[in-house]
């Protein structure tokens, strides 16, 4: 009778006997072999080693790591099973089933044991991470190496959960809960701020277009609410419509625009909270002499 000794050692040192006596048998029930990898101890997987030590005095035993479930990238090197701390920390499983096979050339023995991972710490919202599974917030993702909610969700502080964002007009407690692009939580409702309107096609709060018409020789000021600045979409000096706008006897040409008038208005107004505009040919040129003109400006406040 030949006795080979098999140790499977992690936190627990397990001694398993293999008896080759016509047939090999494991000594001890499988349930007594439950190695643990303790990640709270210093060093990755005990200096990279979760050992399956096999004292193979006669050198006749062949052993292999047949399978692992889930795949924790355990590897059999020589007499030992190694684990990979990064993988074990990041794939979110706290136990693995490993199947090991031992053979003496005549008899093959297969057995399965469970490795328990202890000390897996979960990371708080906003913490650095390398995989979704590390994040403790429910439904959080590891985006740009941080535990966060994906764009379609917001973090509910009470339950520490990434919940789906809320539709337009829903009740809310913060801007970040609202699904509509650029929506705000005003009076506990997801809505657009005063200078914007809700575009239902794109579900976006777009800046409201404001139109101002200044008849020739007149002046007027454009202004935005406090904290907002002008962004001119167009500034047309000339005449493109009939006598209903800036009425006059001289409206023959209704297809008259001064080239470059938009960029002149943009130069005067963009980025300013207010700007003063004069509808005069010495500023915009005269695209149609003899026709009474006007300056029509369309702008947003951004």
Ligand X SMILES: *[C@@H]1O[C@H](CO)[C@@H](O)[C@H](O)[C@H]1NC(C)=O
Which positions touch ligand X (CB under 6 A)?
168-169, 200, 219-221, 231, 233, 255, 268, 270-272, 275-276, 302
Those residues whose C-beta lies under 8 Å from the C-beta of residue 287, and which sit 6 or more positions away, are 237, 238, 256, 257, 258, 259, 293
CB-nearer residue toward ligand X: 89 or 239? 239
- C-alpha 87/C-alpha 97 separation (Å) is 15
Of 201, 184, 202, nearest in space to 193 by CA: 184
Q: Which residue carries 């913060």 as its tokens?
A: 174
In the complex with ligand X, the residue whose CB is nearer, 145 or 221, is: 221
What is the closest distance, in whole angstroms, from the C-beta atom of residue 120 to ligand X in the complex? 44
Nearer to ligand X, 72 or 207 (CB): 207
In sequence order, the 6+-apart residues with CB closer than 8 A to the CB of 295 are: 213, 214, 216, 235, 236, 237, 261, 265, 277, 279, 284
Shortest distance (Å) from residue 84 CB to ligand X? 48
- Residue 154 C-beta: closest distance to ligand X, Å: 18
CB of 224 to ligand X, least distance (A): 12
Q: Give CA separation, 55 vs 28, 75, 79, in Å.
A: 17, 18, 8
How far apart CA 33 and CA 228 sit, in angstroms, is 69
What is the torsional sign of CA 78, 79, 80, 81?
Answer: positive
Residue 60 has φ and ψ, to the nearest 5°, of -100, -10
Question: How far lies 114's CA from each of 5, 50, 93, 95, 271, in Å?
Answer: 20, 12, 12, 7, 66
Closer by beta carbon to ligand X, 135 or else 190: 190
Q: Which is nearer to ligand X, 56 or 231 (CB)?
A: 231
Nearer residue to ligand X within complex by CB, 38 or 276? 276
Beta carbon nearer to ligand X, 140 or 279: 279
The distance of closest approach from Cβ of residue 161 to ligand X in the complex, given in angstroms and rounded to an integer, is 25
Minimum CB separation of residue 286 from ligand X in Å reads: 14
Report the distance separating Cα 125 and Cα 158, nearest Å. Answer: 13
Quote the least distance from Cβ 70 to ligand X, whole Å. 44
């Amino acid at each position: 009778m030949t006795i080979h000794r098999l140790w499977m050692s992690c936190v627990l040192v397990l001694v398993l006997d293999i008896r080759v006596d016509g047939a090999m048998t494991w000594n001890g029930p499988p349930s007594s072999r439950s190695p643990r990898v303790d990640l709270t101890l210093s060093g990755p997987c005990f200096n990279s080693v979760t050992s399956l030590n096999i004292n193979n005095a006669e050198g006749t035993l062949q052993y292999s790591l047949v399978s692992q479930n889930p795949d924790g990238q355990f590897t059999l090197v020589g007499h030992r099973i190694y684990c990979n701390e990064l993988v074990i920390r990041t794939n979110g499983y706290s136990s693995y089933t490993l199947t090991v096979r031992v053979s003496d050339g005549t008899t093959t023995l297969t057995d399965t044991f469970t490795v328990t991972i202890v000390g897996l710490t979960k990371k708080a919202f906003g913490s650095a991470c390398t995989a979704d599974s590390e994040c403790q917030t429910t439904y959080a993702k590891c985006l740009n190496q941080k535990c966060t909610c994906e764009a379609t969700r917001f973090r509910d502080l009470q339950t520490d959960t990434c919940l789906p964002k809320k539709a337009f007009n829903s009740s809310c407690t913060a801007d970040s809960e609202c699904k509509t692009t650029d929506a705000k939580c005003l009076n506990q409702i997801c809505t657009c701020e005063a200078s914007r309107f809700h575009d239902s096609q794109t579900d976006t709060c777009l800046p409201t277009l404001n139109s101002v018409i200044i008849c020739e020789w007149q002046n007027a000021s454009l202004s935005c609410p406090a904290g907002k600045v002008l962004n001119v979409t167009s500034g047309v000096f000339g005449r493109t419509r009939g006598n209903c706008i800036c009425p006059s006897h001289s409206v023959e040409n209704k297809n008259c625009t001064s080239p470059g008038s938009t960029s002149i208005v943009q130069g005067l107004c963009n980025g300013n909270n207010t700007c003063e505009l004069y509808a005069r040919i010495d500023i915009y040129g005269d695209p149609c002499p003899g026709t009474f003109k006007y300056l029509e400006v369309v702008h947003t406040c951004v």
